[in-house]
Chain A
Amino acid sequence: MEFLLASALGVTTACGVYLLLRGRTFSVVLGLSLLSYAVNVFIFTMGRVTTGAPPIVTTGVSTYTDPLPQALVLTAIVIGFGMTAFFLALAVRAYRDSGSDHVDGSEPVHPEKRSP
């Protein structure tokens, strides 16, 4: 299980970073989303992973999974959504105002570098 988590986190991070480094705003947003998933799950797993022990106080139960990373991640998910929304609005605005969806606000000036 631990291997599955670690490897999936690595792949998601790699995909997120790669998309983050693209030149088009929309790809960057997608990359950011992937990276957010990875980061959130990463922080969550720092409290180790336990099955069947939700952090709900129940009489007769003494082991619970670590609630603290969960509390941190819960708000992080919502904030991540707010960030995505803001970034999308920024991207739309930039595209409308400059006519380009490149992150620099204008099309690259080196057409010879274009690959088909």
Chain B
Amino acid sequence: MTLPIIILLPLIAGTMLALPAARFGRNAVAWTVAAVTAGSLMLLLRELPGVMDGRPLIMSWEWLPAIGLNLSFRLDGLGLIFALLILGIGLLIILYARYYLSATDSAGKFYALLMLFMAAMLGIVLSENLLMLFFFWELTSISSFLLIGYWNHRSDARRGARMALTITGAGGLAMFAGFLLIGNIAGSFELTKVLEARDLIHDHPLYVLALVLVLLGAFTKSAQFPFHFWLPQAMAAPTPVSAYLHSATMVKAGVFLLARMYPVLGNSLEFEWIVTTVGLVTMVYAAYVAVFQHDLKGLLAYSTISHLGLITFLLGLDSPLSAIAAVFHIINHATFKASLFMAAGIIDHECGTRDMRRLSGLWKYMPYTATLAMVAAAAMAGVPLFNGFLSKEMFFAEALELHDLGLLGKIAPIAVTLGAIFSVAYSLRFIHDVFFDGEPKDLERKPHEPPRYMKVPVEVLVVICIAVGMLPGLTVAPLLAVAARDVFGAELPPYDIAIWHGLTIPLMMSAIALAAGILLYWLLRRHNLHMHPREQWTAPQLFHRGFEAVVALSAVITGRLQNGSLQRYLRLLVIAIAILGLWPFLQHGYIAGAAALTPAPPLAITVWGITLVAAIASVALHHQRFTAIILVGVVGLSASLTFAYFSAPDLALTQLSVEVVTTALLLVALSLMPQSGPLVSHPTDHTRDALLAIGAGAGVTAITWAVLTRAHESISWYFINESVPKGGGSNIVNVILVDFRSFDTFGEIIVLGIAGVGVLLMMDGLRPHAGAPATRNDQPLLSAAARVLLPFALLVSAFIFLRGHNLPGGGFIAGLVTATALIIQYIADGMAATSRRLGDDATPVVGVGVLIAGLTGVASWLFDAPFLTSTYAYFQLPLLGAVPLASALAFDLGVYLTVVGATLLMLVRLGKVTGPVNSMRVEAS
């Protein structure tokens, strides 16, 4: 359980505790998250000996095995180095940020986000499953977005955050696609399996595509050219974030991915070419740009890009020593660059600016900080005795060994020396411009040394720089060996990390770089480096322009499609459906079947004629709404007759009773709305809609004709055969509803209930018609008749309900009949009087109905049967004899109650708004 806990500690405990702890001040929250981080670190150190012995730790739990997603964790040498960096530097950053954040900044939010990031980053380096790795990868992008935008009142922070998220997020998606390809080829997303499938992947035709996709992820994350431009924009983040995410850890996720996937994807010509070229270009280009930055953090950002290029270059090479050099430089860069960022933060904090044209001569005011920064800068420049020198020498040595890369192999030594020269120049500029070179220019305050503990993290890192630089064999060599073996995927040849290898070519290159770098800086100063215009690099501008263009384009498309007119949306919908319906006919042609036709009796022809007349008349007269309701009702009745004629008694009954309540509902609603519609739409609209409607109608006719003239192969034999033996009822439709497909029915009555409650809410707060007359009863005859009718109607519905399992009827129909009977009471006696008698809130009835239906389903669990399993038995009842009683009857009771409740709810709620129901009739006629 250790590995998931290492991640879960910051993910859950860290993020949850940070906000409440922040109420007790910055110290409290810093201590809390530091404790969480230290806890993770302790757990990690406990596993350290085993990993150092070359036994990677793999823990796996199945999660969604069907899609290959397991909760699998892996701790090997590579992961260990990264996890140590993340947690170790994380601790220092927590301490540093405590003093960096001002009292007005929300420390809780900062530390919570920092913990989220830490967990995500740990997740990447400890993932055994590629899909899980992707998940954490995107989580780092999101937490980075939130941290860059931490000061969300600043527009540059928001812009930078958005850009970083777009670039790294898009790269992450590409990587995901690559992972899916790899997983498909290898048959698993588990790294162990994927590593075994190396040859399979290399020989696959999609290898290059998968490679490029994964590389896109790595290059965007590690800010490699041409995706580098988001990193300088991300410097709008608070400096601890820049130090932690954007130099020490997150941007290393890209190179981590390269290292992780090297044994799978690497050691091919494609891999070597792409990765080394990109790395080399990035390294030289960014180092050059860094020299001309005036912003301290800008300089460090480009320097970071350059060093990431260096590491990428090394990882592209197919040599065991380059793997060691790469891992070594990852550690070294993390230490010296994080300390430089922290120093830059201290300077910014104490002077109020990071502009090197204004900062000068700070040596006098903060000699201690200056010394620390100088050591770190020397390591960055590759000065002997500091750690940067060692890895850079190995890098030079590797650059000389590119024999199989043709032209690139010849250029590489020159290019890397050039990059190193720039690197020396900008390191020198950092020191000289800030700490020497005269007096500071118009600073807002007099600079002084920062608080004691703000310097501690810098000190720790600087000590590491020196210790590793002087005693590499004692400090990092064992770790390096374990990690590099995981990267290279095989045992390493003997090698030696030392300061002195004799007078070698790499040493010469170092010397040239140092001398030429100093010379370059001196020349640039003489030509007034400070007047150099701010960066003219167009990548961010291009990005912004592209971004705005995409937004504008989508605004245009949205504006065209969504002009706010519902009519237009419906039109588009109808057109789309018509096209979908037409498509198969266009492809395969229209063929009517050859089945024998049935003759039409005169009655059918009469009903047909009435239907057509009513439908067309309802359109022609739709402005006269009352008439239209009647005409639509006629069409409904003929639908009901159709059901009755074609052996569907249940449907006929349902349609008939629905017809009654729908008409009542339409009349109630009409009384609340204008009695006639205006003629507003344009004549061309009418024509277009008419054509559309005729098209839709013709389509339906065509499909119906094509189907009805073909023979029928029913899939219902099961229901017909098993209705009596399994469902205990001879009405097959009812047995399907309450037994075979009762889960569907359960969902449907819930929908009906929701519609009822929806009406309730919609009518909530609506006042009755202004000036509605007081309750009065002018229908004594109807009232009396209705009262007499009610018990009979209820009796009929009970009869329909009970016989439903065997004969036409059932809960739906019985419910509608009951509701109709009750509604008549409201109409006859008026709303107020009936409400007094029967209550006016049917909502509980809906609830009870759904509950009964649900409980019937749950009850089957008691008998170890799945939800809604039904059973039946015969009971001897007095007078009636043997009566089959199915448990489905209880379910049908739920259906019945829901239908009654929902129907009443709808009609009574709408009716209430009209005031006395009697007024409806007056207005409607």
Q: Is the C-beta of B733 less than 8 angstroms from some C-beta in chain A?
A: yes
Contact B673 A2 (CB under 8 A): no
Contact A74 B650 (CB under 8 A): yes
B234 to chain A, nearest CB (A): 44
Contact of A13 among B629, B689, B700, B712 (CB under 8 A): B700
**Cα A13 to Cα B709 with chains together (Å):** 20
Residues of B within 8 A of A70 (CB): 648, 650-651, 733
| Segment among B54-62, B376-384, B752-760 that sits at the interface with chain A | B752-760
Contact B697 A113 (CB under 8 A): no
Residues of chain B from 892 to 920 with CB closer than 8 A to chain A in the complex: 899, 902-903, 906-907, 909-910, 913
Contact A75 B737 (CB under 8 A): yes
Q: Is the C-beta of B708 less than 8 angstroms from some C-beta in chain A?
A: yes
Residue interface mask B626-655, A partner, CB < 8 A = 1: 001100100110110011011111110011
Contact B705 A3 (CB under 8 A): yes
Who on chain A is nearest to B767 by CB? A96
**Cα A85 to Cα B819 with chains together (Å):** 14
| Segment among B487-495, B496-504, B540-548, B680-688 that sits at the interface with chain A | B680-688
Contact B615 A49 (CB under 8 A): no
Contact B604 A4 (CB under 8 A): yes
**Cα A6 to Cα B705 with chains together (Å):** 6
Contact B708 A115 (CB under 8 A): no
Task: Select the residue from B629, B696, B744, B756 with max chain A CB neighbours within 10 A.
Answer: B696
Known contacts being A75-B748, A92-B673, is A6 close to B733, with CB within 8 Å? no
Contact B731 A66 (CB under 8 A): no
B817 to chain A, nearest CB (A): 13
Interface footprint category on A:
35 or more
Contact B910 A89 (CB under 8 A): yes
Residue interface mask B730-745, A partner, CB < 8 A = 1: 1111001100010011
B189 to chain A, nearest CB (A): 41
Contact A75 B745 (CB under 8 A): yes
- Interface of chain A, helix or strand or loop or mixed? helix
Residues of B within 8 A of A67 (CB): 716, 719-720, 732-733, 736
Contact A22 B758 (CB under 8 A): no
Who on chain A is nearest to B740 by CB? A71
Q: Is the C-beta of B661 less than 8 angstroms from some C-beta in chain A?
A: yes
Contact A77 B732 (CB under 8 A): no
Contact B670 A26 (CB under 8 A): yes
**Cα A90 to Cα B632 with chains together (Å):** 20
Contact A103 B566 (CB under 8 A): yes
Known contacts being A8-B612, A86-B762, A104-B564, is A71 close to B736, with CB within 8 Å? yes
Contact A115 B683 (CB under 8 A): yes
Residues of A within 8 A of B698 (CB): 10, 14
Q: Is the C-beta of B618 less than 8 angstroms from some C-beta in chain A?
A: yes
Contact B639 A4 (CB under 8 A): no
Contact of A11 among B567, B615, B622 (CB under 8 A): B615
Contact A10 B704 (CB under 8 A): yes
Known contacts being A15-B619, A93-B763, is A26 close to B625, with CB within 8 Å? yes
30 contacts between A and B (CB under 8 A): A1-B598, A1-B600, A6-B701, A10-B699, A10-B701, A13-B696, A14-B697, A14-B698, A15-B619, A15-B693, A19-B622, A21-B693, A23-B680, A30-B618, A30-B628, A34-B632, A34-B635, A49-B708, A51-B646, A66-B714, A67-B719, A67-B732, A70-B650, A75-B812, A82-B906, A89-B758, A91-B673, A103-B566, A114-B679, A116-B679
The 4 A-B pairs at the shortest CB distance, nearest first, are namely A14-B697, A10-B701, A82-B755, A18-B693
